[in-house]
Structure formats: structure tokens, C-alpha cells
Chain A
Amino acid sequence: MPSPGPLRFQLNGHPVEVPAESARILLDLVREDLHLTGTKRGCDLGTCGCCTVLLDGRPTLSCLTLARLVEGRSVTTIEGVSPRQGLSRVQQAFVDHGATQCGFCTPGFIVTATALLRDHAHPSKEEIERAISGNLCRCTGYTKIVEAIQSASREGV
């Protein structure tokens, strides 16, 4: 297989240029090659949502995405949705409401919720549940996650 040229895309707002074989998976590229370990590997099958990143702003399962598919596009990971200092509104709400327990699913939820609240300032409980239905959490029963997202949306303008 001919080795493709370097892969160019926007990562967390910055242009990057990295080698990536055709079969390289975006999750591996992000975690193993670029050492951004906030994005978690939970199943490698698109079933758990722990690896969710934003691709051109849309929540996307990085474990099911070929790295070459992001050529020229924009990828935002949990590191990219986190402010340089402090926490974002939705992150603060997750902390305050105890919406993290083990925390392994949390980055995926934060990324998903960030996109939801960007597009819907005041989502209903049903809209929140639909938005997070691709993210599994085994600790919280989702109760406090939904509460946190509701609370973050109420604080928004």
C-alpha cells in the first residue's frame, strides 16, 4: 500500500500535520500519536461513547473514524473544550452536581453536552436524554448527568 502523505487538520483550533497510515483510527491517532489521553478507549466498537470528539463541531465516535477522514477538517477533543484556566459552564455543572463518579465516561459526556448546549440553549429533559443516549455511564444512572446539563443550560444566556 503506498504510504499516504502527512495528514493535515485542525486539532483543538490549531493546524497539525502528522503521519497517519490509511488504516489509522482517529482514536489511536489522538491518544497514542498525539498523547491527548482525555479521550478514552472504552470498547473500540462504537458502543460506549467514551471516545467522543467533535468533528466539525458534531459529536463523533473517534474509534469508528478513520484518521484520514479528518483531512482538512476540524477535530475538537476534551482538551479542546476545556478552558486554559478553570472549567467551562458544563464542566462546572458536572462537578457541582456530582455527575462524575469513576469519570471514565465523563470526557465523552462533556464533549457531547458541549455540542448540545451550543446548538440548543435550553434543551428539554427528553432532548438531553436523546443527545446523551450514545454515551454509556455505569455509575450514575444518568440522573445527575441530566441534572448537570439542565443546570448548565439554565445558567446560559
Chain B
Amino acid sequence: MATTGSPEYRLLGTKIPYIEGPLKVTGRAEYTDDIQRPGMLVGRLLRSPWAHARLRSIDVTEARALPGVFAVLTGEKYPTPFGVLPITHDETAIAVDKVRYIGDIVAAVAASDERTAEAALAKIRIDVEVLPDYSDPRDGTGPVKEPIHARGLLGSNVQKEVVQHFGDVDAAFAQAAHHVRVRGNFAGVTHAFTEPLATIAEATPDGRLTVWSATQVPHYLHRSLSEVLGIPMHRIRVIKPEVGGGFGGKSDPLPHEIVCAALALETGRPVKILVDREDVFYTNHGRHPTQNDVRIATDARGQILAYDIEALIDGGAWSSFGTVTTYYNGVLSMGPYRVPNFRYRGRRVYTTKPPSGAMRAHGGTNIRYSVEVALDQLAERIGIDPFDLRDQNALPPNSTTVNEFRITSTSFRKCLAASREKSGWDQKFRKLPYGRGIGLGCGFYISGSNSPIHFTPKMPQSTVHLKVDMDGGIAVHSMQADIGQGSNTLLAVIIAEVLGVDLERVHVQRVDSDVSPIDLGSYSSRVTFMMGNAARAAAEELRDKLLEAASTLLSLPVSSLVVAHERFQSKADPKVGVSFLEALHTAMERVGALTASGAYNSPAMGGTFKGARAGTAPAYSFAAYVAEVDVDVETGAYRAVKVWAAFDCGRALNRLAVEGQIEGSIHMGLGQVMGESMNYRGTRLLNPSLLEYKIPMPQQMPEVEILLVGDDDPEGPFGAKEAGEGPLIAILPAVGNALYDAVGVRFTDLPITPDRVLKGIDLRRKEGRPWKGA
């Protein structure tokens, strides 16, 4: 892989180490749990052992009387409901009236130390009326005895139903030459970030509340704190320390964050709540367990005529992002292909289990697996190569989908060509020995949501502020939330690139709502695109001020000057120029420190029908992955040996970070394929630990060959699109389809554990259907 970028740019396109790297490798990076405040108390949460129960009474008298206990809180003090989507506020900081899953918060304690807090929790007496629990979403689609929420549709547990129909699906199926149906069952999976959830809150006598929290979206936390606690936002200050991974799991405002703040208000002392690993699993908000039913029709040559899709989505106890999930399972099933007729019915049903929410490649992963397996089956049935089938159905650049998504740049066909060639597909497909297989999986994903949550359309989705003073250091303020993906580094690189300065001059400030202009944070793969454009605009404003100053100093028109390394100089004669600092000091005369601001608003897009904006994005990433697998046909154990990952993120601005996102996505996607599963007995989670919920080991990682083939996006910053979530999607079907090529067994459910592989192999043998000679 090339380590040098385009000659157009000094930094962009190269491999740039993360700017926090030196702090992280020495243990000096500060995470929430590393922060100590004077007189800080320990907050602890009492969690429900009941899946569904009405709270008759909670007696906290004994707990409150315990020496060292500063506060005991129950739900009635702050009953205002909240939730990440303004239209579905159905969570409370602490359970009010009812508990809805094992792990729901019933009470909270602030005490001088951990042991006292635990002792106090043990003294809380709760009287409940146990209610029927609901573990299977199929049981909640009609009227139920005890709806989990009053807002369930028509006395059922259905939280959201989406029905969409474009074109005429029945007519398309009637005239189709081929159609397949794939029904899939997908276990829930969770983010398994390494840093547990943690929050510190401190209320001070000046009437202000400061909250430090491991969050991906400081702004939504800020809003929720204000709404639930009844304190105006300007009196609350939210600070985001380093965050040890999120993947969507730290994007909802979470109850413990609000409880921690409430305890700080109660006690007047700083309070820390560290959510232990088991409770992180109960908090969840991971990928929804889903049942998909996908039908695809094509003509005789394999041209897609229609999709007909149903999804039944297990929401768990709360709405969370669920309304979005319900739309995404439909609308994100189509691209990267042109689908002229489309019908979708999606239902998300509450169950009395830990809530599901947004996890990396939210809403676009499970349905994509079903679609890509269906396309693999269709190719086989029609007798054409899976690559050819996809290539002939590819959405062209500058096109519109049947549901009115605006597609601008797409290098999907280049992705197909690259992974086909590099993987040696034509020499391997259906030609490898029994037990060895190769498969193709594709995908696309939004590069930021055009329809941001909690925002009026005329407000920018991202704003970046710059300040530079006599020292020549550039302070950067933004509420984008680096959670390890390298967005701080990208912010610094874009500014250094535009101004021509060394990276070390640029100091990205910690997210602090008192000084950081609002950005909607790290979710929906929005940061590179939106923050990147805002950062570029801010840096260009500053650059123009400096060019004016250089023009004055050199007595040359601005139009004759260019930005060079730490210098502004004449285009015609590079020897004629001034240094960055000379230009800066001149520009500062009479005005002092220079400031600049840049913002990004996505353009208007999307149709006018109900739900039309769901899934609209200013750009989309595209992927075509090939996986080669090796199956031990006696045990069913298998591994991905190599993956060719062709990805279109437009121009890769920091190749090191893009590679890191792709490699990490493949690891996470392989986990969901090969074994990750939140296992339940009824409503009880059986494996809430990293020992029993196993993520892949280093030995399970395949060799990954990354093929970055994207053309510049017309609206992305310097042509860039997202690379944080889209890279996950394609690996799942690539492995599933490779397993079929290896052993001739279709796996439509995830995870595909070795016992299921072995059962499939045995069944095929018993049925006397040999595969590749075996």
C-alpha cells in the first residue's frame, strides 16, 4: 500500500499516527474513571432481578440510616421520561411504577465508599407485583395482557411499524423469471467496548452542574440532563474525557449518567458511577435480535425486479434508536443495487429484555446478510457469476433510488473489479477443494444522517472553532467525539493541511460544552464528512486572514500567493514569501488573537412521503469484500484465512485510520458471524461477561488486504466519505457465502457456530447430495 498521498496535498492521504498515541501508550490518556474529584462519593445502582414487575413500594429507610450514606434515590424524584429520539421518550433515569427487564435500575445510592454503598443497596426493601414477561417479539405483535409500555400500538408490544411500498412488487414477482426467499434469524450482539461505562457529576454552589462521561454524543447527554433534571442547558457543563470505544453503545444518553447527576445534586458532593462489566451487558443497546424474511425477484438475466422484505425486530425494554432501526432494516437493504420495486414491512417489538439500540452499521447489517445470501443463491440458480450479478445491478453514480435516496459518488463497480481481481476469484470460485471456499459480500452505508436527531434543520450539524494567538499554536474546539476512531487526528490534519503548518501546532481541545461548539457527535458515520467540512471551512477562513496579511507584507495581491509549508509565498517566485508567524503577527495587529468558525449543513434531500428522510445521507460508502475460508469438515470449526476488502470511502484522508477502521470492522463482523451472541433463557441474559461473550482472538483474524478504490466525493471534505461503519457490513455475507462454496451448506442464521456447520455438512451427506466431489 502506498504510504504517500496525492501530490495535491502535503498530509492528506498519507498514514498519520493518531495524535493521542503517545498519551495512550504510556497510560497518560485520561478516561472518566481516571478522574478524581475532592470529596468524591461512590454511586451505586440497584438493579431489578425481575423482568417485568409493578413496583408496589420501595422502603429505603434502613439504607438511608446507614452511616456513610449520603443519598438514596428512587424513581419518583426525576420521573421525566427521556430517550435518544425526541419522538420516543420512554426511559426514566430510575424505574417509575414498573421495571421492564432484569437489570433495570430501581434505586441508587451515594456513599462514602464502595462497601457502604453496597451495604446500603442490600438494605433496600422492594415489594412488587410480578407481571408476565415477554421474551419473544412474536408474542407481542397483537394485544397482550400487560403491555410493556402504554405507547405500544393497540395494546400490543409493537413499538414501531413501518410499511413502505414503491412500484408494484406483486406485478414484478408475477413476471419474474427467478425468485428466492431467505429467512434468517439473528442473535443479538453487543458492542463489547473495553472501557466500561462511567460518569462523574459535581454540583457546585454557583448553581452549575458539571458532568464528565464516557459518551459518544455529549450534546444528547447535555439535552437529556437538562430535560430530566429540569436545569437549563447553560447551567450544565458536559465534558468528554477520552472514551475507550463506543461502536454505538455510548451514543444514547444512558440512565446512569442522569442518576449520577441527580446524586450529585442531592448530596452537593462529586459522585462517580462506574458501571461494572456485567451491568454494561445489561445496559446493552447492542444490535437487535432480528428475524428477516427476504424475497428477491429477477428477470432471466439476473436483473433485479423487486425486493419484498419483512423484519421482526426484538427491541428489548425501551425505544432507544428503535424507530430508526425499523426504517433502516428496510431502506438500507437496497443500495448498492438498483431495485425498481420495493415493499417492506418492519416491526420493532418491545420485550422485557435489555434494550437494543445502535451498533456499528446500525440497521444495515442483518438485513444485508439476508440480501447478499439471496443474491448468491440467485446467481447460482441463474448460472451467472455472483460478481456479474452484482455488477449488472449496480446503482450508477448521480442516480436516485426508488425511495428517493440521492446517490452522488459511487465506486462500487471499482470495488467489485478490485476484489475480484486481487482475490483470484475466477480461478477459485467453485474450484477450491472441498472444505475450502470463497465468497462475495457487498454493502453500502450512510455517510452521516441527513436527518439529524434533536435538531432544527437550519442549525448546522457540525461547527468547528479555531483560535490562534501570538504563540502560533492553533486551538481547535469541536464537540465531535473522538472515541478512538481518530477524529481528533483528522481534525488536526485538515487544519494543518489548509494552513500549511506542522501538525504539532494544532491542539485539539477536549470536548467541553462550555467552549466546544455543538457537533452531533460520533454516530451514523457522520464525523469525517460533516466535521471535516466544518473544519475545512474554519481553516480556510483563518487562511484567508493570513493571506491578507502576507499580501500586505509582500505588497503582492492575494491571488498571486500560495500556501506553502509554514509559509505564504509568491506563486511565481517561491523565494518571495513570509513565514506563518510573520503573517500571523501582522494579521493580529489591533485585533489580537485570531478566531475562525466553520459549519456544515447537509443539503435538502429525500422525498415527501412519511419516513422519507430515514436513511438519506449526503453520501454513501460502498464495499465489496471477498473472504476465503477453511473448514474442518470433521468438526465444523472454520476460519477466515484471507479477506480482500475493497472499499469506497471517497478519498481516504488518513490511510492509517481508514485501515484501522476496516481491520477493526472485519474483526467485529467476524465475531457476529462466528459466535458472538447474547444468549437468553427466557428473559435472563446468560452470558454477561467477556469470558462467556467471546470476541475473536488474534489467532482468528484473517490476513486482510485493503483495496481503497474510491473516487473523490463531490461534497465530502477533500472528496472523503465515511469509513467507520460501512466496512463492517460486507464481511458477514462474504463469510456466509464462502462457507457455502466450501461445504455446500446455506447458512441463513447468525452466528454460524461450528456445531451448526457440522450439522449442515452431516445433513447434506445424509441426503446424498455431494458437494465438490465430497
User: Which residues does A use to contact B, with CB under 8 Å?
Assistant: 35-45, 47-48, 50, 77-79, 82, 87, 91-92, 94-98, 100-107, 110, 128-129, 132-133, 136-146
Which chain B residues border A98 with CB–CB below 8 Å?
15, 17-18, 21, 486, 656-657, 659-660
Do residues A100 and B18 form an inter-chain contact, with CB atoms below 8 A? yes
Contacts A95-B22, A101-B485, A145-B698 known; 13 new A-B pairs at CB < 8 A: A40-B194, A45-B691, A48-B277, A78-B26, A78-B27, A102-B195, A102-B483, A106-B27, A128-B698, A129-B697, A138-B191, A138-B695, A141-B663
User: Given A38-B28, A98-B657, do A143 and B196 touch, yes or no (CB 8 Å)?
Assistant: no
Q: What residue of chain A has the Cβ atom nearest to residue B23's Cβ?
A: A103
0 or 1 for each of B34-76: is its CB under 8 Å from A? (1 = yes): 1010000000000000000000000000000000000000000
Q: What residue of chain B has the Cβ atom nearest to residue A100's Cβ?
A: B24
Instruction: Say yes or no for B244: interface residue by CB 8 A criterion.
Output: yes
Q: What residue of chain A has the Cβ atom nearest to residue B657's Cβ?
A: A98
Can you show 26 pairs from A to B with CB atoms below 8 A apart? A40-B194, A40-B244, A41-B33, A44-B276, A45-B277, A47-B277, A77-B27, A82-B26, A82-B27, A91-B26, A92-B25, A95-B18, A97-B656, A98-B657, A100-B20, A100-B21, A100-B484, A102-B484, A103-B484, A107-B25, A128-B698, A129-B697, A132-B698, A136-B194, A140-B664, A141-B663
Q: What residue of chain B has the Cβ atom nearest to residue A132's Cβ?
A: B698
Q: How far is the CA of A44 from the CA of B275 in the complex (A)?
A: 11
Q: How far is the CB of A1 from chain B (nearest CB, A)?
A: 14
Tell me which residues from 664 to 707 in chain B have a Cβ below 8 Å from any Cβ of chain A: 664-668, 689-691, 695, 697-699, 701, 704
State which of A79, A94, A103 has its C-beta within 8 Å of the C-beta of B242: A103
Instruction: Say yes or no for B192: interface residue by CB 8 A criterion.
Output: yes
Which chain A residues border B659 with CB–CB below 8 Å?
98, 144
Do residues B668 and A138 form an inter-chain contact, with CB atoms below 8 A? yes
Which chain A residues border B34 with CB–CB below 8 Å?
37
Q: How far is the CB of B693 from chain A (nearest CB, A)?
A: 9
Do residues B21 and A95 form an inter-chain contact, with CB atoms below 8 A? yes
Do residues B194 and A105 form an inter-chain contact, with CB atoms below 8 A? yes
Task: Give the 7 A-B residue pairs with the shortest CB-CB distance, closest first.
Answer: A38-B27, A102-B484, A104-B244, A103-B24, A141-B667, A95-B21, A78-B27
Do residues A47 and B691 form an inter-chain contact, with CB atoms below 8 A? yes
Which chain A residues border B21 with CB–CB below 8 Å?
94-95, 98, 100
Q: How far is the CB of B564 from chain A (nearest CB, A)?
A: 26
Which chain B residues border A94 with CB–CB below 8 Å?
21, 25
Q: How far is the CB of B446 from chain A (nearest CB, A)?
A: 21
Q: What residue of chain B has the Cβ atom nearest to residue A129's Cβ?
A: B698
Q: How far is the CB of A25 from chain B (nearest CB, A)?
A: 11
Q: How far is the CB of A50 from chain B (nearest CB, A)?
A: 6
User: Given A132-B698, A138-B668, do A143 and B484 touch, yes or no (CB 8 Å)?
Assistant: no
User: Given A45-B690, A47-B691, do A101 and B27 touch, yes or no (CB 8 Å)?
Assistant: no
Which chain B residues border A138 with CB–CB below 8 Å?
191-194, 245, 247, 664, 667-668, 695
Q: How far is the CB of B157 from chain A (nearest CB, A)?
A: 32
User: Given A40-B195, A129-B699, A138-B668, do A106 and B17 touch, yes or no (CB 8 Å)?
Assistant: no
State which of A87, A137, A146 has its C-beta within 8 Å of the C-beta of B194: A137
Tell me which residues from 146 to 204 in chain B have a Cβ below 8 Å from any Cβ of chain A: 191-196
User: Given A103-B242, A106-B24, do A133 and B660 touch, yes or no (CB 8 Å)?
Assistant: no
Most buried by A among B29, B192, B274: B29
- Where chain B touches its partner, the secondary structure class is loop
Q: How far is the CA of A133 from the CA of B696 in the complex (A)?
A: 10
Tell me which residues from 208 to 254 in chain B have a Cβ below 8 Å from any Cβ of chain A: 242-247
Instruction: Say yes or no for B425: interface residue by CB 8 A criterion.
Output: no
Most buried by A among B17, B24, B244, B695: B24
Q: What residue of chain A has the Cβ atom nearest to residue B668's Cβ?
A: A138
Which chain B residues border A142 with CB–CB below 8 Å?
667, 698, 701
Do residues A104 and B691 form an inter-chain contact, with CB atoms below 8 A? no
Do residues A101 and B245 form an inter-chain contact, with CB atoms below 8 A? yes
Instruction: Say yes or no for B31: interface residue by CB 8 A criterion.
Output: yes
Q: How far is the CA of A144 from the CA of B658 in the complex (A)?
A: 12
User: Given A95-B25, A138-B695, A139-B664, do A102 and B245 touch, yes or no (CB 8 Å)?
Assistant: yes
Do residues A143 and B704 form an inter-chain contact, with CB atoms below 8 A? yes
Most buried by B among A77, A91, A101: A101
Which chain B residues border A101 with CB–CB below 8 Å?
18, 245, 484-486, 660, 664
Which chain B residues border A129 with CB–CB below 8 Å?
697-699
Q: How far is the CA of A91 from the CA of B17 in the complex (A)?
A: 12
Q: How far is the CA of A154 from the CA of B372 in the complex (A)?
A: 42
State which of A42, A82, A100 has its C-beta within 8 Å of the C-beta of B196: A42
Do residues B195 and A104 form an inter-chain contact, with CB atoms below 8 A? yes
Which chain B residues border A105 with CB–CB below 8 Å?
194, 244
Do residues A141 and B701 form an inter-chain contact, with CB atoms below 8 A? yes
Which chain B residues border A96 with CB–CB below 8 Å?
17
State which of A38, A102, A132, A137 has its C-beta within 8 Å of the C-beta of B26: A38
Do residues B667 and A79 form an inter-chain contact, with CB atoms below 8 A? no
User: Given A42-B196, A141-B663, do A103 and B22 touch, yes or no (CB 8 Å)?
Assistant: no
Q: What residue of chain B has the Cβ atom nearest to residue A137's Cβ?
A: B194
Do residues A110 and B25 form an inter-chain contact, with CB atoms below 8 A? yes
Which chain B residues border A104 with CB–CB below 8 Å?
31, 193-195, 242, 244-245, 484
Q: How far is the CA of A100 from the CA of B243 in the complex (A)?
A: 12
Q: What residue of chain B has the Cβ atom nearest to residue A141's Cβ?
A: B667
Do residues B36 and A35 form an inter-chain contact, with CB atoms below 8 A? yes
Do residues A144 and B663 form an inter-chain contact, with CB atoms below 8 A? yes
Q: How far is the CA of A87 from the CA of B20 in the complex (A)?
A: 13
Do residues A133 and B698 form an inter-chain contact, with CB atoms below 8 A? yes
Which chain A residues border B665 with CB–CB below 8 Å?
141
Which chain A residues border B31 with CB–CB below 8 Å?
40, 104
Q: What residue of chain B has the Cβ atom nearest to residue A32's Cβ?
A: B36
User: Given A45-B691, A101-B486, A104-B245, do A143 and B27 touch, yes or no (CB 8 Å)?
Assistant: no
Do residues A42 and B663 form an inter-chain contact, with CB atoms below 8 A? no
Do residues A143 and B701 form an inter-chain contact, with CB atoms below 8 A? yes
Do residues B689 and A43 form an inter-chain contact, with CB atoms below 8 A? yes
Q: How far is the CA of A15 from the CA of B33 in the complex (A)?
A: 27
0 or 1 for each of B266-290: is its CB under 8 Å from A? (1 = yes): 0000000010110000000000000
Which chain A residues border B30 with CB–CB below 8 Å?
37
User: Given A42-B196, A42-B277, A102-B243, do A141 and B704 touch, yes or no (CB 8 Å)?
Assistant: yes
Do residues B27 and A43 form an inter-chain contact, with CB atoms below 8 A? no
Most buried by A among B25, B242, B277, B659: B25
Which chain B residues border A79 with CB–CB below 8 Å?
26-27
Q: How far is the CA of A133 from the CA of B33 in the complex (A)?
A: 25
Q: How far is the CA of A129 from the CA of B667 in the complex (A)?
A: 15
Q: How far is the CB of B191 from chain A (nearest CB, A)?
A: 7
